[in-house]
Structure 1
């Protein structure tokens, strides 16, 4: 069973299709979602997280149609939005506990699961601190902790490394590699180097649809030295985006 199965998926926002006849199948592993601003990445992630409803086409999540009963799916899902709210007076532990409760985790499992999630993101020593006292990078790590607290089968991360320093980004890559051994992990990011280092599979979106899906090595061979970029994978990204964009502009 694929964790994500989309065929002809359309998600309309206002007068335009933010996701336009997209077809995609993803299973276990770590998948990177790349694309320029306005490509539809965040809308796709929100739709996969059951926050946004599809307009047309078909979508199945963990074997359940997106127009079906989504409560069981949401219990097995982890989601880190690009921007997420929280009560600033919550302690870090309370914040993660609250999200575990929303995911309907068994009450007896929550304390141990929260402790483990905070350990995995390096926040054990800040568990009793207020959220308002954390730096931006620490808040992001608390967001990752709440996303993984229920050991999700489908983990959706929108710009998860924003605010993380280089050492923390390395530890994040190790964490998602571990999670990807038993779950489908989809990471939306602008940082091509994160995808090259952490992901086994790359999905490139532009103008609401998929323009490439393959390995980071495949992406690296798509460009030449004439394309913009400091590395082969960046030049491959530039080549594919410019081929899709109107007039060949990058």
Structure 2
């Protein structure tokens, strides 16, 4: 468990302020618009920076007094980082294994294991500066998993990955989540629906929601509507803010709409997906 108490951290536009938060084993999805504080919170959890006030406690160890112990249990992938371009993936992972004090000479060499698992091995001697962004991101993910970390912190981990690579990363995190504390910051909510057990919504440095996927979705269904209308009605919907999606099929238009009331008769409440629930909460402030 990671426990946060009275945390304050000054960002450019405002202050990240979390009075109390407990993160548990499983995958927690951290959502919010750009600049909401997601990356700053992950940096704080990764001990890459320190809070101005407050405590972060990792299974009984406060970060301030136990940095080496805490860091030995953290795997972290920031959203933006420059790799050592003249290194190849194998050298890069060996370097980080040394920093983490990992013995790579055993029969179960973790570098070989993760390079094979993430299909990096065939490029292991290619300089990182000549690798694709997707390959570089997989190398970063591999270094985060070296040493069987207790806490895995990932900032937009699906960036630069194709669909096959995304599914492979999801499968790995699915295997790890029952016994690891994983926090993922992402704008792509629906992709994480099968894995996340908790959702935290950050807005301007404050937690606006913290709870289960069921709690995230259910209060929003009273404010989201869908159905079919005639095309001669549809022109007026583009002048309003509530339109989520619109498509024309067979001479009619299908709408998904956010609002306290439906804009046309014949629309019915629907159970929203995770991204639709985010739109409802952002616009109506549930």
TM-score normalised by length of structure 2: 0.78
Instruction: Give how far 1:195 is off.
Output: 2.3
Structure 1 residue 14, shift from structure 2 partner: 5.2
Paired residue secondary structure (2:33): coil
| Displacement after TM superposition at 1:196 (Å) | 1.3
For residues 98-140 of structure 1, give each alpha carbon's deviation from its aligned partner in whole angstroms, at most 9, with x where no partner exists.
1111122235359811111212222121122211221111111
Residue of structure 2 equivalent to 1:238 = 279
Deviates more, 1:121-130 or 1:25-34: 121-130
The correspondence for 2:118, drawn from 107, 118, 121, is 121
What does residue 3 of structure 2 align with? 5
1:33-182 alignment runs, 5 A limit: 33-106=30-103, 108-109=105-106, 112-182=109-179
- Counterpart in the other structure of 2:224: 225
Instruction: Describe the SS at the equivalent of 2:80.
Output: coil
Once the two structures are TM-superposed, the CA of residue 85 in structure 1 deviates from its matched residue by 1.9
CA RMSD of aligned residues (A): 2.1
Q: Is the 8 A contact 1:75 1:105 kept in 2?
A: no
The CA deviation string for residues 140-195 of structure 1, in whole angstroms up to 9 with x for no partner, is 11110010011100000001100111121111111111111211011111111122
Larger radius of gyration: 2
* Structure-2 separation of matches of 1:40 and 1:60: 19
The count of corresponding residues between Structure 1 and Structure 2 is: 242
CA contact (8 A) 2:190 2:273 kept: no
Q: Is the 8 A contact 1:220 1:233 kept in 2?
A: yes
TM-superposed CA distance for 1:217, in Å, is 3.0
Q: Residue 214 of structure 1 is aligned with which of 211, 224, 232?
A: 211
Gaps of 5+ in 2: 226-241, 246-271
1:28-58 alpha-carbon deviations (Å, 9 max, x no partner): 1111111111110000000000011011122
| Partner SS for 1:198 | coil
Counterparts of 2:107 and 2:59, CA distance in 1 = 23
Closer/same/farther in 2, CA of residues 218 and 87 from structure 1, 3 Å limit: same
User: If the length of structure 1 is used for normalisation, what is the TM-score?
Assistant: 0.89
Note if contact 1:220-1:234 (Cα within 8 Å) is conserved in structure 2: no
Per the alignment, do residues 229 and 101 of structure 1 end up closer, same or farther by CA in structure 2, a change over 3 Å counting?
farther
Q: Distance in 2 between matches of 1:179 and 1:221?
A: 28
Higher relative contact order at CA 8 Å, sep ≥6: structure 1 or structure 2?
1
Match of 2:239 in 1: none
SS in 1 for 2:199: strand
